[in-house]
Structures are given as C-alpha cells and as structure tokens.
Structure 1
Amino acid sequence: MGSLQLKSVRKSFGSVDVLKGIDLDVKDGEFVIFVGPSGCGKSTLLRIIAGLDDATSGSITIDGAEVVSVPPAKRGIAMVFQSYALYPHLSVKDNMGLGLKQAGTPKAEIDKRIDRASAMLSLEKYLARRPAELSGGQRQRVAIGRAIVREPKLFLFDEPLSNLDAALRVNTRLEIARLHRELKATMIYVTHDQVEAMTLADKIVVLDAGVVQQVGSPMELYNRPANLFVAGFIGSPGMNFIDAARLGVADARTVGVRPEHLSLSREAGEWQGKVVHVEHLGADTIVYLESDKVGTITARLFGEHHYEPGETIFATPAEGQTHRFDENGHAIR
C-alpha cells in the first residue's frame, strides 16, 4: 500500500503550461521530496496528486488504481499544509479526530488512533487545549497527528515547516523523519528548502518550469547532477561555474566546482585571486574571491580561517571533484 505512479501529467492554466508532462514512480514506504524554485510547479503537482486540482491530462495511479476521477476523500491520502488549518473552537483531540468522526468511525477506534498518534507526537498533555493555547510547533504536530489517525496510503506535506522558526524547523524535521521510520509510510513532501530535502528524502525530484530536471537520492544529485540547474540548486553555497575556455578545457562549455572542494593558500595554487568578502559562520568560513582567470568564485572552508578583503590568495580544486557541462548545460560523464 502507498505506491504512486504519474504518467505524462500535465497542467495548463489557459495558454500557460505549469506542468509539462511529469513521469514519476514512488515505491511503497519511500520518502520523496519535490524541490525547486518558486513557480516551478511542485505545489501544483502535490495538489493534483491529492485531487485538490485537476490535471489537464495524464494518469495518476495509487496502489495500482487510477484515481484521476476519484474525489480527494476517496484517494486514501492525508495532507499536511503550510498553514495548520485547525478549527480554533475545537480541542486538539477533536481536531485530530474530526475526519474520522465525519467518516463514521466508531468512537473507540477514534480514541485508540488519537492515543497512538498523540503518544508518537508527545501531545498527550495538550489534548484538551485549543489551537490558540499552543505554540506554532505544537499546532503543526496536531496537523500531522490529524493526518496520522487517518492511516492513509499516502502522506502529502506542502511546505509544513515554513511557518516555524529555525530551531522548531530542526526539531519538527527530526520528528517527521522519526515518524517515517516508525510508520513505514509513503510520504511525499514539497519544500523549497534544500536542507530539508537533503536530510529527509530517500529520493528527491528536482523541478524547474514544470519539468523534472532529475530524480535521485540526495547524494546522487549532489555528486552527479544531471545539468547546470541541478548542480546550482543542490548544495550551499551554490556550485561555482567557470567558462571552460578560460581553463583550456576543449570538450566542455562550463566547468563546475563546489565551494567545499576548493582549498586556499597564501603561497601557491591553481587560480590566483583577491579576497572580496569573508563570512565567518563558526563551523565554516565562506570566502569570496575575484580571479582574473576564472572570475568570481566561492570557497567553503571547514572551521575558522582568517582572510582579509583585498588579500591575494590562491584557490585549487580538489582532484577529481570538478564537473563538466556541454553547450546545452547537460553533464558530461
């Protein structure tokens, strides 16, 4: 239970094509994350899977059954939104159990499922409270609990951590990862935050302008990006892109090297440059260089390093850690 197949899924609003033929297979129990910039179509795709929007064309199959014409309530999915969408006049317990009550589930079964979900999410002592009496993180856990009690085939998350502060984002991210392991459920998650994608996903789907750019595990996308877009989107700071002609590389248009794969030296190195700016982050030091040979590049160094703007230093890429791209932006293997 919980497999999903998309075949040639398209969505158009008038003459604007938002999704341009999406093909995807999600296995039972996988944690799949859709990432991409604003407007790439990731939330639209999630809403089409949920049945909240209609596809212009294409096939959507859940557990082998075509669901394009099936209403949302009958698809066996549960969705957690960016906004918590809780009823302010109902208690936590009633918010979590409302969908089951409306479906005619026996009270004893509702109570059993709520007890299990509240224990998993550490909500037991908040069951009698109303949403206004909870923190943002607690309200998001209630929204997740409401999804859990439905025991769906698919969990769909639409940027569920966007309204939380940094510390709560980390804590809630850990809770979602733990829930996935415990429930062994299929989860599809939309985010623009690549840290969430890299730390949570079994498989990442990178979208841009309604097209799937690459599908793979986090480290596959990091180590073997299919094109310039994926290479620049995955990784922080973003990959350095250098005109291959500047380096004398004849069989490529662009050479890429990640900031963390550059070493710096005051004595000697491959590319000489001047320090433009330095960011001291404690665990990392980010150094921006301007080089006559390769242009502006960024280096990410582990730990604290002291360089000054205007200082002349040398950057050297690690052996075997450069990427080559052709004139169409596709990776050259």
Structure 2
Amino acid sequence: MGSLKIENIRKSFGQVDVLKGIDLEVKDGEFVIFVGPSGCGKSTLLRVIAGLEDATSGDILIDGKKVNNTPPAKRGIAMVFQTYALYPHLSVRDNMGLGLKQAGKPSDEIKERIGIASNMLSLGDYLERRPAELSGGQRQRVAIGRAIVREPQLFLFDEPLSNLDAALRVNTRIEIARLHRQLKATMIYVTHDQVEAMTLADKIVVLNRGKIEQVGSPMELYNSPQTVFVAGFIGSPQMNLIDASKLGQSGAKTIGIRPEHIQVSKTSGEWKGSVIHVEHLGADTIIYLQTDFGPLTVRLFGEHNYDVDGVLYATPDAGRTYRFDNDGKIIKG
C-alpha cells in the first residue's frame, strides 16, 4: 500500500511563503507528477513528503498514518534525485545493496532483491562495475535500482532525468513507465518537463507560486485547462493567449487557441500576419506570425514551405477556442 494524503501543507523559509496551503490525495498505485515553473514549490513539496523538510503547518499521511514527526528512514519511502548520489568507490552491486546492509537485512535477502532489481533495469552485466565505468543513463538506473530494493510504499523522483541527454531521457522515461506497470507502486515525480509529465503521469498536479492550479489526467489538463496559467503551461508549442479586447471580443479578458487548431492560407482568412520564423521539424511545421494583435504560433502537421516575411492568413477553429475572465479563470459555456 502507498496512498498519500496532504492536508493544508504550508512551508515558509523566514518571511518567504513557499507552499501556501496544499491539499492533495494520491491513491495507491498512482503515478502522480508535480509540474510548474522554477520556484513554484514542487521540489519543496516533495521534500516535505519525504521528511527532508519540516512543514510549517499541515499534515502528511501515508496509508492513513500521520508521519509529520516520523524521520525519513521510517516513512516507507525511497527517493531518486537529480544527482545520482552513488558512492564512487563501491560497485553497482554494493551501491544498490548498501541501504539494506545498513538496515541489517540478511545477505541472502539482499542478494535476491539486487537480482530482481538488476533484471528489471538490465543491470545484470554491470553489477561489478564502479559508477565511473557507467554511462549517465546506467548510473541513473543504478540510483533507481537502489530505490527498488528497499521495496518502499512510495517512490519519490526529483527531476531524475534532467542530467541526461535527449535520447537517454526518452529511453529512461520508457523504463520508468515500464517499472511502474511492473511494480504497481505509488510514484510521485517532480519535473519541469511537460513532455515527461504528459507521457508518464496518471495524474498531473500543476503548481504555481506555492499553490495548486489544477489537478487532472494529462488530457484533462490539455483539453480543459481551468486557468490561463494551466492553458499556457501545458502544451508544446504553448497555447496562443490573446488580449480579447484586441480581437474586439467582449465578455472575456483573454482568448486562448492552441497552435494546432489554426489553419493558414495565402489568400484569405480571419487574421492577417507576417511570417517571422518557420521551424521545419519533419512531422510538424511551426510557423510564427506577427499580427495586429501580437505574435501568433501555428502548428501544421507535415512539411510546409512558407517564406519568412511573406503574408499568411490564419483562421482559428471556433469550436476549439478558450475564453478566460479577468481573474484568469475559464469561462464555461
């Protein structure tokens, strides 16, 4: 079991309020990802869950048991950090088993757990190597293996892929998703990379300035953002957010339209714009236009050729636009 309940968690450093009343429930076996810009409080919240930081107020419950005063080692958690934190003088085997050895586990049990974890992570051929003899991706797998052997109630990941190059990030992301399916464990994962969030999470928690903006599945957040912040944060390229007054529309402060929900023509359309840049990505073409109401991003599927400084007309899909009020909240209906 590994359910988690966070009740009105607040965390201040001196006069700075970092977490401003966080309430959240995570079900046993869920993969939940915290996302948000730098300084939003996502890593601080993870550290409070882990017990590495004390909450200023509020409660943390793991499997229904309050753990506010429980030390990290007794919370039934295992944490994987951005830095691998491996002992350079120890082999992969000894790095993975050190925590169990310190806990007084029998050698046969340690060997068995290491064997299971190394098979899951394809580390069997590297158990006698030292960290310096491994690639970055292999080192991160060792750090994950060290967490697996502890058989925790909760896995906590703090931006574990940010030190890897793009190809390794994709491969390790797939491995983490596979591990979640195999272990059926509860995982809490912090990242600033929305692609990781969209592809891994059962549930995404979007944080902004120490508060939760919205919680939902990846596609719920993508298709039904409840605030301007979530609308602009989820999606790549990000949603176009346009001052409604510049479009002559009343009853809203901001109009949102995703780049893929706009069509372009060289001859006619709702908005006239000048091409300022084109990105050819193979599967997609991203066009950046300058219009009377500001910049506009258009995403077209496939390869399209348009000249910089050329004129294009853009037409939004009227059924796929979003309207937000003066407080940045979605206007429904």
With the shorter chain as reference, the TM-score category is: over 0.9
Instruction: State the alpha-carbon separation in 1 of the partners of residues 7 and 313 from structure 2.
Output: 50
**Shift in Å, 1:274:** 1.1
Instruction: State the alpha-carbon separation in 2 of the partners of residues 313 and 53 from structure 1.
Output: 53
**Shift in Å, 1:282:** 1.4
Instruction: State the alpha-carbon separation in 1 of the partners of residues 294 and 144 from structure 2.
Output: 47
- Which residue is equivalent to 1:114? 114
Question: TM-score if structure 2 supplies the norm length?
Answer: 0.98
Q: Which runs of 5+ in 2 are unaligned?
A: none
- Which residue is equivalent to 2:316? 317
**Shift in Å, 1:94:** 0.6
- Which residue is equivalent to 2:104? 104
- Which residue is equivalent to 1:188? 188
- Which residue is equivalent to 1:297? 296
- Which residue is equivalent to 1:283? 283
Instruction: Check if 1:88 corresponds to 2:104.
Output: no
Aligned-partner residue type, residue 108 of structure 2: A
Q: How does 1:19-168 map to 2 (within 5 A)?
A: 19-168=19-168
Between Structure 1 and Structure 2, how many residues are aligned? Answer: 332
Aligned-partner residue type, residue 40 of structure 2: C
Larger mean Cα displacement after TM superposition, 266-275 or 64-73: 266-275
Aligned-partner residue type, residue 323 of structure 1: Y
Aligned-partner residue type, residue 113 of structure 2: R
**Shift in Å, 1:154:** 0.1
Deviations for 1:194-232, whole angstroms, at most 9, x for unmatched residues? 000000000000111111111000011111111111111
Instruction: State the alpha-carbon separation in 2 of the partners of residues 181 and 321 from structure 1.
Output: 34
Aligned-partner residue type, residue 87 of structure 1: Y
**Shift in Å, 1:246:** 2.6
Aligned-partner residue type, residue 326 of structure 2: E
Instruction: State the alpha-carbon separation in 2 of the partners of residues 329 and 265 from structure 1.
Output: 31
Larger mean Cα displacement after TM superposition, 323-332 or 247-256: 247-256
Aligned-partner residue type, residue 90 of structure 2: L
Instruction: State the alpha-carbon separation in 1 of the partners of residues 288 and 84 from structure 2.
Output: 40
Aligned-partner residue type, residue 58 of structure 2: G
Q: Which runs of 5+ in 1 are unaligned?
A: none
Instruction: Check if 1:246 corresponds to 2:246.
Output: yes
Deviations for 1:235-292, whole angstroms, at most 9, x for unmatched residues? 1111111111233322111100011111111121111111111111111111111112
**Shift in Å, 1:56:** 0.5
Instruction: State the alpha-carbon separation in 1 of the partners of residues 124 and 12 from structure 2.
Output: 45
Aligned-partner residue type, residue 100 of structure 1: L
- Which residue is equivalent to 1:258? 258
Instruction: State the alpha-carbon separation in 1 of the partners of residues 130 and 230 from structure 2.
Output: 43
SS in 1 for 2:319: coil
Instruction: State the alpha-carbon separation in 1 of the partners of residues 233 and 275 from structure 2.
Output: 24
Aligned-partner residue type, residue 311 of structure 2: T
SS in 2 for 1:219: helix
Q: How does 1:154-233 map to 2 (within 5 A)?
A: 154-233=154-233
Instruction: State the alpha-carbon separation in 2 of the partners of residues 86 and 272 from structure 1.
Output: 56
Question: TM-score if structure 1 supplies the norm length?
Answer: 0.98
Instruction: State the alpha-carbon separation in 1 of the partners of residues 66 and 106 from structure 2.
Output: 29
Instruction: Check if 1:307 corresponds to 2:306.
Output: yes
SS in 1 for 2:146: helix
Aligned-partner residue type, residue 17 of structure 2: D
Deviations for 1:136-165, whole angstroms, at most 9, x for unmatched residues? 000000000000000000000000001100
Aligned-partner residue type, residue 46 of structure 2: L
SS in 2 for 1:192: coil
**Shift in Å, 1:319:** 3.3
SS in 2 for 1:236: coil
Instruction: State the alpha-carbon separation in 1 of the partners of residues 221 and 9 from structure 2.
Output: 23
**Shift in Å, 1:318:** 1.5
Aligned-partner residue type, residue 38 of structure 2: S
Instruction: State the alpha-carbon separation in 2 of the partners of residues 85 and 296 from structure 1.
Output: 44
Aligned-partner residue type, residue 242 of structure 1: I
Aligned-partner residue type, residue 206 of structure 2: V
Aligned-partner residue type, residue 330 of structure 1: K
Percent sequence identity over aligned pairs: 75
